[in-house]
Amino acid sequence: MLIELTDQPIHVAAVLDAVQADGAGAVNSFIGTIRNRSTGRRVVRLHYEAYDQMAVHQLRKVAEQAMERWPMLQKVAVVHRKGTLEIGDVAVVVAVSTPHRAESFAACQYIIDTLKEVVPIWKKEEYEDGTVWVAAHP
Amino acid sequence: MLIELTDQPIHVAAVLDAVQADGAGAVNSFIGTIRNRSTGRRVVRLHYEAYDQMAVHQLRKVAEQAMERWPMLQKVAVVHRKGTLEIGDVAVVVAVSTPHRAESFAACQYIIDTLKEVVPIWKKEEYEDGTVWVAAHP
Amino acid sequence: MKLSIALFGITREIVGQPQLELTVPEGQSVQQLLAGLQQTYPALGELRSLAVAVNNEYAQPDAPLHERDEIALIPPVSGG
Amino acid sequence: MKLSIALFGITREIVGQPQLELTVPEGQSVQQLLAGLQQTYPALGELRSLAVAVNNEYAQPDAPLHERDEIALIPPVSGG
């Protein structure tokens, strides 16, 4: 299991390599990148802040929950970036390997969905005329 | 849209790069690799054969159907290998980019599921004591 | 009319060659072609499925065939 | 007892510092801590949600706090 929170650019191919296994025919991966628009506003860049030790702990818990729920999961990798990111930069990569493909999609989607709910990472979007902490207010 | 049938090793990172788009925050990809086991038998290697022109035509149709069904799809890439593949080799890569993640999972899964039903590519598994055309017989 | 039929995978192995040249009555349908081939090569009838592609598309059983069509037998596919 | 509370994202900006040192009655609960903070910093009450993490886990409202706990305010997360 590869769990990482990093302030360096994420090397996607290395994350995919980390879940390769001879018994795993299926690898599903999700890559989250920085979009140039959010709720109609033009995004200039993004700032990610994390509660590092809790974020890594919670990322690991999410991955472990996925492995309990889909015991056929072979390997899981989750790498999340923090710091300042530009448009097109990779913010997160989730990759899982399984013997059969349906479970690879379900497990990968579970991990990214749950990550977005529980892992203490926050992003502040920077526009040309200001900044907003995403999802902070109703 | 990147659609390719190739007898050369698939460069996964290049396929992922092909679906990058500034307006797409989500990239989902499926990588199918050669497993060392199939229905309990140890696989030595695999031989993929394709009806090239129809395979490329049908791959393109599947990708186009996905783009009709999920109009928010930004880019689609499907690369399938043919020829002789060893354990761990990449047989197929599907990658899609969308502004939001749920559709990226659904569209990618639709493409690989439909590909496996309609695209004229056949694999023959080679074991230590013989070969079998996969799925040929009831 | 003369038809040329491309063979792949297990159908190529059953027939023993990658291409079949047949002379059939004008207007023969996909279904009739398949019936004739399964009579000549009974092993084709043992497959889980056997479709016919005409010009890169799956053909309906009652579709008529034409001399210039690109025809292929499509045994159960197993890509991915 | 003395509590040290780590602040991130919008809570850090609301409070104006990355860490808060508080003296509270022994056995104070998560809920009581939050109520006190929201009184001092009303903007905390305007967030979509505000959780408390104790030793890297989300804490229940009635959980008692201890002096050695690693405590943090968790405003709505937005990773990924």
pLDDT digits (tens, 9 = 90+) for C7-66: 999 999 999 999 999 999 999 999 999 999 999 999 999 999 999 999 999 999 999 999
Length of chain A: 138
Kindly state whether residue D44 falls inside one of the protein's structural domains.
yes
Portion of chain D with pLDDT greater than 90, in percent: 100
Chain D neighbors (3+ CB pairs < 8 Å): A
List helix spans (H) across chain D: 9-15, 30-40
Residue A86: strand pairing partners:
A45
Chain C neighbors (3+ CB pairs < 8 Å): B
State pLDDT tens for residues A7-22: 999 999 999 999 998 8
Structure confidence at residue B38 (pLDDT): 81
Of the candidates B38, B25, D40, B28, the one whose C-alpha atom is nearest the C-alpha of residue A34 is: B25
CB atoms within 10 A of CB B57: 18
Kindly state whether residue C25 falls inside one of the protein's structural domains.
yes
Domain count, chain C: 1
pLDDT above 90: residue A132:
yes
State pLDDT tens for residues A46-98: 999 999 999 999 999 999 999 999 999 999 999 999 999 999 999 999 999 99
Indicate yes or no: CB of A121 within 8 angstroms of CB of D47: no
Structure confidence at residue B70 (pLDDT): 98
Indicate yes or no: CB of D9 within 8 angstroms of CB of A119: no
Kindly state whether residue A14 falls inside one of the protein's structural domains.
yes
Indicate yes or no: CB of B133 within 8 angstroms of CB of C13: yes
- B9 and B83 Cβ atoms separated by less than 8 Å: no
> What are A's interface residues with B at a Cβ cutoff of 8 A?
12-13, 16, 20, 22-37, 87-88, 99, 101-102, 104-105, 108-109, 112
Nearest Cβ partner for B23 among A22, A37, A101: A37
Which helix (H) or strand (E) element contains residue A15?
helix A12-17
Portion of chain B with pLDDT greater than 90, in percent: 91
Q: Which residues contact A47 (CB under 8 A, 6 or more apart)?
A: A83, A84, A85, A123, A124, A126, A131
The owner of tokens 């040309």 is: A128
Indicate yes or no: CB of D78 within 8 angstroms of CB of A51: no
Kindly state whether residue C47 falls inside one of the protein's structural domains.
yes
- B96 and B111 Cβ atoms separated by less than 8 Å: yes
Q: Give buried/exposed letters for B91-101 (b at 16+ CB in 10 A, else e).
A: bbbbbbbbbeb
pLDDT above 90: residue A29:
yes
Q: Give the mean pLDDT of chain A.
A: 96
Structure confidence at residue D34 (pLDDT): 98
- B50 and C72 Cβ atoms separated by less than 8 Å: no
Kindly state whether residue A138 falls inside one of the protein's structural domains.
no
pTM above 0.90, yes or no: yes
Indicate yes or no: CB of A101 within 8 angstroms of CB of B112: yes
Q: What is the dihedral of CA D29, D31, D37, D43, to 10 degrees?
A: 160
Q: Give the mean pLDDT of chain B.
A: 96
C53 contact residues in B (CB cutoff 8 A): 51, 54, 120
Kindly state whether residue C79 falls inside one of the protein's structural domains.
no
Structure confidence at residue B39 (pLDDT): 78
User: Domain range holding D53?
Assistant: 2-74
Kindly state whether residue A136 falls inside one of the protein's structural domains.
no
CATH number, residue B80: 3.90.1170.40
Structure confidence at residue D24 (pLDDT): 96
D74 contact residues in A (CB cutoff 8 A): 51, 120
Here the tokens at position B26 are: 């989500």
Tell me the shortest Cα–Cα distance from A57 to chain B, in angstroms: 24
CB atoms within 10 A of CB D65: 22
Distance CA B113, CA A101 (A): 9
User: Domain range holding B42?
Assistant: 2-128
For an interface test with A, the pick among B20, B33, B48 (most A C-beta atoms closer than 10 Å) comes out as: B33
Distance CA A38, CA C45 (A): 57
Of the candidates A45, A122, A35, the one whose C-alpha atom is nearest the C-alpha of residue A80 is: A122
Mean pLDDT over B55-67 rounds to 98
SS (H, E, C) chain B: CEEEEECCCCCHHHHHHCCCCCCCCEEEEEEEECCCEECCEEEEEEEEEECHHHHHHHHHHHHHHHHHHCCCCCEEEEEEECEEEECCCEEEEEEEEECCHHHHHHHHHHHHHHHHHHCCEEEEEEECCEEEECCCCC
Kindly state whether residue D9 falls inside one of the protein's structural domains.
yes
CATH number, residue C45: 3.10.20.30
Burial of C26 (0-12, 13-18, 19+ CB in 10 A): exposed
CB pairs under 8 A between B and C: 78
State pLDDT tens for residues D22-80: 999 999 999 999 999 999 999 999 999 999 999 999 999 999 999 999 999 999 999 99
Structure confidence at residue B23 (pLDDT): 82
Kindly state whether residue B133 falls inside one of the protein's structural domains.
no
The owner of tokens 């710091």 is: A83
Which chain A residue has the Cα nearest residue D56? Answer: A54
ipTM: 0.94
Structure confidence at residue D53 (pLDDT): 98
Tell me the shortest Cα–Cα distance from A77 to chain B, in angstroms: 14
Which helix (H) or strand (E) element contains residue A97?
strand A90-98
Structure confidence at residue B65 (pLDDT): 98
- A39-43 contacts: CB < 8 A, separation 24 or more? A41/A125, A41/A127, A42/A127, A42/A128, A43/A87, A43/A125, A43/A126, A43/A127
Mean pLDDT over B78-104 rounds to 96
Kindly state whether residue A99 falls inside one of the protein's structural domains.
yes
Kindly state whether residue A137 falls inside one of the protein's structural domains.
no
State pLDDT tens for residues D42-54: 999 999 999 999 9
Distance CA B96, CA B50 (A): 23
Domain count, chain A: 1
Mean pLDDT over B76-85 rounds to 98
